[in-house]
């Protein structure tokens, strides 16, 4: 009987360890098992999105207010169109808000930073943010630096 209790205890600990690894993997990857439900969609066009990916965070003053749901190439404008889902409780983004692609840390993940404007009219579902700033691409900056050094 004592051996049976030991085997059940070891099995329970193995199961608990496996579940802990699954929870850790979900937290590290940023995946959510629960759907956040509500929210409204806002669009923005960028010349260059760098390494921005779907599920990247949308933040305002460092606080996450939504996430990137999809990225596609607009065939008419030849620009990247980013669809963002903003939480319902963030109903204070004005129509003249601006969006820029920022990097978390030196080589970290990219996300969209929103800066609210001063208009009285607020963004609604399906609206577009027209004031955007594309991602800074490190290779482009190095190329500009080297080109300017050679031309002097």
Please give the structure tokens belonging to residue 109: 């993940």
Indicate the domain borders of the chain: 1-33, 40-137
Q: Is 103 exposed, middle or buried (0-12, 13-18, 19+ CB in 10 A)?
A: middle
Which pLDDT tens digits describe the chain residue by residue (152 residues)? 788 898 999 999 999 999 999 988 877 766 665 555 678 999 999 999 988 999 999 999 989 999 999 999 999 989 999 999 999 998 899 999 999 999 887 667 889 999 988 888 999 999 999 999 888 777 777 888 888 755 54
Q: Which residues, 6+ apart, have CB-to-CB distance to 31 below 8 Å?
A: 55
* Residue whose entry in the numeric block shows the structure tokens 């027209």: 130
Tell me the C-alpha distance between 112 and 133, whole Å.
10
Tell me the C-alpha distance between 79 and 102, whole Å.
18
Query: Per-residue b/e over 21-41, b at no fewer than 16 CB within 10 Å?
Result: eeeeeeeeeeeeeeeeeebbb
């Amino acid at each position: 009987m004592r051996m049976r209790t030991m085997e059940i205890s070891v099995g329970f600990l193995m199961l608990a360890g496996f579940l802990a690894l699954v929870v850790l993997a979900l937290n590290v990857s940023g995946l959510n098992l629960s759907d956040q439900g509500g929210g409204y969609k806002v669009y923005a066009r960028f010349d260059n999105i760098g390494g921005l990916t779907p599920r990247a965070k949308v933040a305002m003053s460092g606080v996450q207010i939504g996430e990137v749901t999809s990225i596609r190439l607009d065939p008419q404008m030849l620009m990247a169109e980013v669809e963002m889902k903003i939480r319902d409780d963030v109903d204070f983004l004005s129509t003249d808000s601006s969006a820029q692609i920022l990097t978390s840390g030196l080589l970290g993940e990219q996300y969209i930073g929103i800066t609210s404007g001063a208009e009285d009219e607020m963004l609604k579902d399906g609206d577009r943010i027209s004031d955007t700033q594309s991602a800074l691409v490190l290779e482009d900056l190095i190329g500009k630096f080297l080109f300017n050094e050679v031309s002097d």
